[in-house]
Structure 1
Amino acid sequence: MTAAQADLPELPAEFLEMPEGLRIDRPDVADGAALWRLARDSRTLDLNSSYSYLLWCRDFAGTSVVARDTEDGRPVGFITGYIRPEQPGTLLVWQVAVDAAQRGRGVAAALLDGLTVQVARQHRLTTVETTITPGNTASERLFASYAARHGAAVEREVLFEAGQFPDGGHEPEVLHRIGPLSV
């Protein structure tokens, strides 16, 4: 077990466990390139610069997680997030990606449960937020099932209208606010 693994929680029985052959871990800078590739290969996420994934793994590792293949240690999924500075009880989930070969196994849901348990150990976590573009049913299902597992309500409102994006062609981003949580 690495020091990073020791920082992660044992998931309570009511939460989802990682599928066989995978383990949840804390990302480190060496994972940045793999996270960038997973985001790129998802073909649904906004792809940030490779530099941003390296920084994310350095500066926000405590509010992010990776799913690792237990045989070779390579990341096969991740969730990046951060605590909102003006709302320290709110975890904003930035991106969720799972390798195509691992989809349909509950990896994202297990990562989301593990991440919120991890964050709740250091912050008084009451709310999870994320934004989802209209028609992204996989993300909508992921966060709706998370809310149901945690007995929390989901509020939705448009956070950013399509016209607010300077590069054009971007759909609106709908904020999903899940809470109150009892993690």
Structure 2
Amino acid sequence: MPKDMTEPRTRKLRLRKPDATDGADIWALVKSCKPLDENSMYANLIQADHFRDTCVVAELDGEIVGWISGHMIPSKDEFFVWQVAVSAQARGLGLGKKMLLELIQRDACDGADHLKTTITKDNAASWGLFRSFAREIGGELADEPHFERDAHFDGHHDTEHMVTISLPAPEMLARAA
């Protein structure tokens, strides 16, 4: 009997905290998302294990297709996003924003009044994501050079701009989600 082609295929998206067994899959995802800097597989394993409350994985039909690593900056009310990775098969779904919203609404990020990340000037995808995210939550976005090409990277990497987004009060944030 032929398959009924009129029934749409539903794809199941799930956002969750990572665990140590996700380290290798996260590493493979980051490696496939050029121009992201690759960390060691061990670094991704540690992030998924020790920083799981401030990191998120996205699964589509059981496969990891998205990852954000982040942490609360010690002694500050600021959440720092280290990397955002979305696989080619999951692009265009608004997954980056969904994962960011998930993270800033977690208990581990309760005290954050700003989200920070660094972006090189030529990374149009990251600028687009964080500008869109700031608009959606009603936050102000500012940036300035932070880790500079010559002073910090010995000329081997473009200057990273520190992007700062003000986060609304939790009750306002709940309305944006």
Shift of 1:21: 2.0
- Structure 1 residues 117-166: Cα deviation after superposition (integer angstroms, max 9, x where no partner): 114x6531211000001111111011111111111111101110011114
Q: 1:106 aligns with which of 79, 94, 105?
A: 94
Identity among equivalent positions (%) equals 36
Q: Which amino acid aligns with 2:51?
A: F
1:28 paired to 2:19:
yes
Match of 1:41 in 2: 32
Q: Which whole-Å CA distance do the structure 2 matches of 1:176 and 1:84 have between them?
A: 14
1:74 paired to 2:63:
yes
Match of 2:175 in 1: none
Q: Which amino acid aligns with 1:106?
A: G
Is contact 2:54–2:109 with CA below 8 Å preserved after alignment? no
Residues 54-133 of structure 1: matches in 2 within 5 Å? Answer: 54-69=45-60, 71=61, 73-87=62-76, 89-119=77-107, 123-133=110-120
Paired residues, what number?
160
- Give structure 1 stretches of 5+ with no counterpart: 1-18
Q: 1:53 to 1:76 in 2, by over 3 A?
A: same
Regions of 4+ moved over 6 Å: none
Rg: which structure is higher?
2
Q: TM-score, normalised by structure 1?
A: 0.82
Is contact 1:152–1:178 with CA below 8 Å preserved after alignment? yes
Is contact 1:77–1:99 with CA below 8 Å preserved after alignment? yes
Q: Which amino acid aligns with 1:134?
A: K
Match of 1:7 in 2: none
Q: TM-score, normalised by structure 2?
A: 0.85
Shift of 1:20: 4.6
Q: Which amino acid aligns with 1:172?
A: T
Shift of 1:86: 2.2
Is contact 2:114–2:165 with CA below 8 Å preserved after alignment? yes
Q: Which SS does the other structure have where 1:44 is aligned?
A: coil
Q: Which whole-Å CA distance do the structure 1 matches of 2:109 and 2:34 have between them?
A: 33
1:175 paired to 2:166:
no
Q: Which SS does the other structure have where 1:128 is aligned?
A: strand
Q: Which whole-Å CA distance do the structure 2 matches of 1:78 and 1:105 have between them?
A: 14
